Amino acid sequence: MSLSRRDLLKNTALVGAAASIAPGILRAQSSSNAVTLPGLPYAVDALEPAIDSMTMQIHHGKHHAGYVRKYNVAVSKWSSAGTLEEVLATLPSAPENIQTSLRNNGGGVWNHTLFWNSMAPAGKGGEITGDLANRFVESFGSVAAFKEAFSAAASSRFGSGWAWCIIKPNGQLAVTSTPNQDNPLMKGIVPDSDLGTPILGLDVWEHAYYLHYQNRRTDYISNWWKVVNWTAVEERLG
């Protein structure tokens, strides 16, 4: 089937008219700010027994994938949206009708990407040594005190949310916790005292552990320490 020259001109005119009426909509359809679901950096059963393979499959393939899909729908409606990190850092200036979706789903995308890349099979994640160990001692008094503070933040988070170790603007490390899919990048959303750059995050939503641990969140947390990728965490110190 071939288009006549007249049809071609008509189509071109229509595209031109649409572009002049709603440039934002047309641009959004080819948005370069869409995100993709990153693959896991290990096999789904690689973290067993700390995290079982069924939980990994559902968590990555359904939950994380769902956040990616819904974020892309929301961000496609914002023609001047920046990168995911820029969006999370400027949520209060996002269009009001998509702000909640960008917050929940954008947070979900970012948080899970950090989470997968903060774990490694037991025995493969390196040790807390060198610069990382020094920074924990400087900020918390000892490595044990850091772990205790982080575990307490994770176990005491009411309902769904995350525990974090962040680099604060003054360079100190700190432990914080946020509800739902909020994170320490969300200026204007989380308290200023909780803002910083996450170097480690732990998902304490029930979907992260319930299949294997049911209500035993503290068992999940204590086993999770065995699969932390300390080499990756140290690299985030910059």
> Which spans of this chain sit near Mn ion (rule: CB under 5 A)?
203, 205
**Omega before residue 49 within 30° of 0, cis:** yes
Residue nearest to Mn ion (CB): 203
Nearer to Mn ion, 165 or 173 (CB): 165
User: In the bound complex, what is the minimum distance in angstroms from residue 207's beta carbon to Mn ion?
Assistant: 5
Nearer to Mn ion, 135 or 184 (CB): 184
User: In the bound complex, what is the minimum distance in angstroms from residue 59's beta carbon to Mn ion?
Assistant: 6
User: In the bound complex, what is the minimum distance in angstroms from residue 183's beta carbon to Mn ion?
Assistant: 12
Nearer to Mn ion, 71 or 205 (CB): 205
Gap between the Cα atoms of 105 and 86, Å rounded: 14
Place of tokens 């979907």: 207
User: In the bound complex, what is the minimum distance in angstroms from residue 138's beta carbon to Mn ion?
Assistant: 31
Nearer to Mn ion, 203 or 234 (CB): 203
| Dihedral in degrees, nearest 10, Cα atoms 81, 85, 91, 95 | 20
Residues forming a β-bridge with 164: 176, 201
Q: Calculate the alpha carbon distances from 43 to 65, 116, 164, 211 in Å.
A: 17, 11, 25, 18
Half-sphere exposure of 125 (CA within 13 A, CB side): 22
Q: Give just the sign of the alpha carbon dihedral 11, 13, 18, 19.
A: positive
The answer to whether 128 and 140 have CB atoms below 8 angstroms apart is no
Nearer to Mn ion, 58 or 145 (CB): 58
Nearer to Mn ion, 90 or 180 (CB): 180
User: In the bound complex, what is the minimum distance in angstroms from residue 145's beta carbon to Mn ion?
Assistant: 27
Q: How far is CA 117 from the centre of its chain?
A: 10
Q: Give the relative orientation of helices 107-116 and 65-75 as an angle to the nearest 10 degrees.
A: 140
User: In the bound complex, what is the minimum distance in angstroms from residue 115's beta carbon to Mn ion?
Assistant: 7
